[in-house]
Amino acid sequence: MKKNPNNRQSLKSQPPSVVLVTGATSGIGNAIANHLHQKGYTVYGAGRRVQPHSGYPFHALKMDVNVDESVNRAIQVILQQEQRIDAVINNAGIALTGAVEDTSLSKARAQLNTNFFSTHRICRAVLPVMRQQRSGMIINISSIGGLIAIPFQAFYSASKFALEGYTEALRMEVDPWNIRVILVEPGNFNTPITKNRQQATDSARSPYRNWFYRAHEIISRDEQNGPSPQRVATLIERILKKKNPKLRYICGPLLDKSAPFCRKWLPQSWFEFFVKKYFGIDFKKNF
């Protein structure tokens, strides 16, 4: 049977998918937004400090993911321009470091609000649109730290652990509307998160200071020596092209990728021993 040339032409003339990327002004989010733009997607990159005529190649949107009105306003801008939203990459986040005992409730809340509740805020805003379209994709950027707990990043890990469970539940709830929900779990990448990481308290006065400084140095070193976030951007593009993407995609250096599998198969005491050893947490050497 001969192929209909009109069908082929209609496929070629389809508009690029409309994608919203949060936290798009730097790091992984910026790499994703730039890459998808280069590949022909209609990209709206959101950031809290975006200014008019900011020079980004994609459509830059000012959005504070922690404020309902700001999120809803930005979503309406996209809908007015494009009449649809095909995919959302929830990437906005911050990193907080410090011992649990040293972390105030206000700083813990700020960590959870930006890394977890902002994702819920975005999802609530876009899901009615996707349900009406009967299609869509939501990619939540989690972390290896959402699969294994990282010492002195308890609330960062807590935010990502919460995101993991949230995404699993959401994926099942929205499946009847052909909405795909996916987790991407990056390891250590060379991004501005290292210099922008917040500390819970004045660590010099903390009883945990010796272990904290050692662990913080190792975390920073691994990030600065990590690969470019372009690897995550390329993975996101591949996921967007999949009809039935799987739930989880781990991305990062080999050591990072192997850690969740070690946690699964090793006895808990063995795994904790290796993690403490890696991050320089040795009780005997400090007392």
Active-site annotation, residues: 142, 156, 160
Phi-psi region of 23 (alpha: psi -120 to 50; beta: other; left: phi over 0): left
Tokens representing 8? 């082929």
What is d(CA 74, CA 50) in angstroms, rounded to the nearest whole number? 12
What is d(CA 240, CA 154) in angstroms, rounded to the nearest whole number? 31
Could you identify the residue written with the tokens 């919203």?
20
Check: CB of residue 277 under 8 Å from CB of residue 270: no
- How many Cβ atoms from other residues are within 10 Å of residue 89's Cβ? 32
What is d(CA 113, CA 167) in angstroms, rounded to the nearest whole number? 16
